[in-house]
Chain A
Amino acid sequence: MTQPADAPLIRVEKVTKKYGPRTVLSGVSFDVGPHEIVSVVGPSGCGKTTLLRCVAGLTEPSGGTVSIGGQTVTKPPEGVGVVFQHFGLFPWKTVSGNVAYGLTVRGTPRAAVTARVRDLIAMVGLEGFERSYPHQLSGGMQQRAGLARALAIEPRVLVMDEPFASLDAQTRDLLQLEMLRILDQRPAATLFVTHSIDEAVLMGDRIVVLTGHPGSVHDVVDVGIPRPRGREAADSDRFRIVRDYLWTVVMKGQGNDNSPGKPSEGTAD
């Protein structure tokens, strides 16, 4: 099973975020265990990215608290790796330079940095591209570099904002499985925002469903598929059940479905 064995590492408690008169998040609460992957899914505009930014310390909530390891997050805390949708690699740095970024800005000694970077580049499958620049890489490769950068700091928390959304379908499928494999080897409390319900179910141990404007937690679903997972996980009955349920809920959240309990039409995404 995937119950967190230890106390939750990330605690989101009644987080609210307002921008002026506009409330984007309202009373969001959930936990993430230290080795857990929690997917956050919901319709566009429900504040998923804002929530992520609050957890990463990039944005301060208007109300409620986020705490990591018992400490309230007001600015970016130590040991949090962030992966961005549009990769966020610095174009003037090489792949190595980018991957090393989290370490260089802390002043880690050169030898240690080089060793760790080499390790990670191998782990994400970018050998041979250490001296390449981001503009010379495909989207998938850039995101691998982004991933490597996040993992380089040996994070206890990983925050990912639709990391595979900018990639083509095949690369996305590949990277999803690789991500799972990497997280099996190097677990971290992972918060993963996605638009794709399938992705949320495949990747997550639990799924937080945000709905509505402002975004609030509609439900927290236990995926119940054991790890390690491979491609066959997507074929399992459990996967289908969870996915179908989420479809209904998320569609309802977008106001497309007025009668509760009505089965979803099951149209292809």
Chain B
Amino acid sequence: MNALAPGRDTDTPGGPAGIGGSGPADRRRERGQVLAVRAAAGLGIVAAWQVCAMALAPHYIARPLGILAQVPAVLGNQSFWSAAGSTLLAVAEGLIIAVVIGTAAGLVMGRLRDVDRAMRLYVDSFYAMPLVALIPLLTVWFGYTSAARLVVVVIEAMLPVIFSVAEGGRSLPAEFTDVARAYRAPWWRVWAGIVLPASLPYLLGGIDLAIGRALVGAVVAEFIASLNGLGYYILFNVRSFAEDKAMVALVVLVMFALAVRGFVSLFVRRRLPWYRDEASR
């Protein structure tokens, strides 16, 4: 879970002192070096890809220069943006619904032992199941409509959230509830003021996992139900031997995923500095 890995990130105030020369200038230099290595590796892979494709592959196989060439055409195309909007909105909407339901369900499961015992088997099974196998069924139930896609996204995203939040609820240190009881906090304060903030890091971990699953769900639903969206755009263009265009769409999907995960990570860094340092104790 990258977003929540206890960081050697030196952005925190009160971070490590300068033993062995790790002042701000050194850190900047280090970061510059890391970026340079990453850029070099990326360019290397891209170059190798281009060369292999040119030498060995038929003309319609995607290659970096071809993809770059198609970018203006794709990004200038109104139907591309309509497709992008359709998919990304569905994913965003589904994620929000999934987080709300998933958090509630996760908290109930995490804190109420009986519910946990009753539901654990089913949650674990659904989590382990390749949900894409359910999509043909869901498209029959909900039709070849965007409703089907939304349902898929919600189910896919909800499970890791329930799982993680339940784990958080279970791991709540008994000492916290002892403190709350000792100082006579009313029950709603325990849930809102202790259970919720203590589960927040787990929730964010769940969201991190949920994004990937949500995108997969949305794209596969589009494949199967021929819904307007990035998934369908990719499928259509690949089948029309326009792989370069399809890859542009893929890159947009990836960037969306990275943006959301980056946002989560930023949120953790800024608003939960205590979690990162707690986790590294």
Contacts and interface: CB of A to CB of B under 8 A. Distances in A.
Interface of A: 56-58, 75-76, 78, 80, 82, 84, 86, 88, 90-92, 101-102, 105-106, 133-136, 153
Contacts of B275: 91-92
Given A105-B189, A134-B274, A135-B274, A88 B175 contact: yes
A90 B119 CA distance: 30
17 contacts: A57-B181, A57-B182, A84-B178, A84-B179, A88-B175, A88-B176, A90-B179, A91-B274, A92-B198, A92-B200, A92-B272, A101-B179, A105-B183, A133-B273, A133-B274, A135-B281, A153-B183
Contacts of B176: 88, 90
Indicate the member of B176, B183, B274 with the most A CB atoms within 10 Å.
B183
A92 B197 contact: yes
Nearest to B275: A91
B186 A105 contact: yes
Contacts of B193: 105
Nearest to B271: A92
Contacts of B175: 84, 86, 88
B114 interface: no
Contact of A88 (B178, B197, B198, B200): B178
A91 B189 CA distance: 16
Contacts of A56: 182
B16 to A, nearest CB: 13
A135 B278 contact: yes
Contacts of A102: 183
Given A76-B181, A133-B274, 19 more contacts: A57-B181, A57-B182, A58-B181, A76-B184, A82-B179, A82-B182, A82-B183, A84-B175, A84-B178, A90-B176, A90-B194, A92-B197, A105-B183, A105-B193, A133-B273, A134-B274, A135-B273, A135-B274, A135-B278
B252 interface: no
A229 to B, nearest CB: 28
B277 interface: yes
B185 interface: yes
A106 B184 contact: yes
Nearest to A82: B182
Interface in B245-281: 272-275, 277-278, 281
A86 B179 CA distance: 11
B6 to A, nearest CB: 11
Indicate the member of A57, A75, A84, A135 with the most B CB atoms within 10 Å.
A135
> Shortest 8 CB-CB distances between A and B: which pairs?
A105-B185, A82-B182, A91-B274, A135-B277, A102-B183, A92-B197, A88-B179, A88-B175
A78 B182 CA distance: 9
A56 B175 CA distance: 14
Indicate the member of B181, B184, B273, B275 with the most A CB atoms within 10 Å.
B184
Nearest to A105: B185
B20 interface: no
A91 B281 CA distance: 13
A92 B173 CA distance: 14
A82 B183 CA distance: 8
Nearest to A75: B181
Interface in B128-163: none
Contacts of B184: 76, 78, 105-106
B14 interface: yes
Interface string B175-216: 110111111111001000110011010000000000000000
